[in-house]
Amino acid sequence: MIDAKARAFIADAAFYILGEGGFAKEVKQLMIDCGAKTITMLGKNDEVNIPNDDYALLGVGTPELKLKIVSDLQKKSRLPNFINANHPTSIVSNTDFGKGNIVCAGTIFTVDVKVDDFNAFNLNCTIGHGCKIGSYNQVNPGTNISGGVIIGDRCLIGTGVQILEDINICSDVLIGAGAVVAKDIIKAGTYVGIPARKIEKKN
């Protein structure tokens, strides 16, 4: 729920979305649902020159591309004012966010959750108590992350993934749609199935 004061602030502010694909359009609609009136979408061929008083959001759904965009901007010596954006129908309780996170409609955070920077949680996800989530992760719709889970950086978690309680997942992991993660993942790579297993590359 967005109170009247916050909605008035959002209506008066200017927002820039970095991205032009499907997820960028979803982020734009999220901001419209929050009450934003002034939204500019910037594609890969557009110059990123965002005024200091305005706000930016990452509208890309690939961890590697998130990192590249932020790294390229850092080389220009200044990051835009990246904000955290929560859809009005999301439920976010006692969660410590870094910057540049997107929480889409219907997603629920319970308590004592810590989230670093530039993550996106798509539609109807749940994040349980005590989870710790790194940076540049993409969590796709319908994913359920149980309590006490720790996730590194640059992970792509597919639609409908189930991650059981107290699991640790290292950085640079792709988890395929519908997988059930029942034990720690300690090596980067692609994991699929029930229970989730690593796909080994063929020579």
- Kindly write down the DSSP assignment for every residue of 7-57, as one continuous string: HHHHHHSEEEEE--SHHHHHHHHHHHHHT--EEEEE-TTS-----TTSEEE
Q: Where do runs of H (alpha helix) occur along the chain?
A: 4-12, 22-34, 63-75
E strand or H helix at 77, and its extent?
A: none
- Global pTM reads 0.93
Question: What is the CATH class of 106-198?
Answer: mainly beta
| Digit-coded pLDDT (tens) for 43-84 | 887 778 888 889 999 999 999 999 999 998 888 867 889 999
Minimum mean pLDDT among 2-16, 40-54, 104-118, 172-186: which range?
2-16
Structure tokens at 18: 């970095």
Query: What pLDDT, on a 0 to 100 scale, did the predictor assign at position 44?
Result: 80
| Digit-coded pLDDT (tens) for 112-129 | 999 999 999 999 999 999
Residue written as tokens 């008066």?
Answer: 12
Q: Are 174 and 192 in contact (CB under 8 A)?
A: no
Q: Where are the domains of the chain?
A: 106-198
Mean pLDDT for 188-202 is 93
Query: What pLDDT, on a 0 to 100 scale, did the predictor assign at position 125?
Result: 98
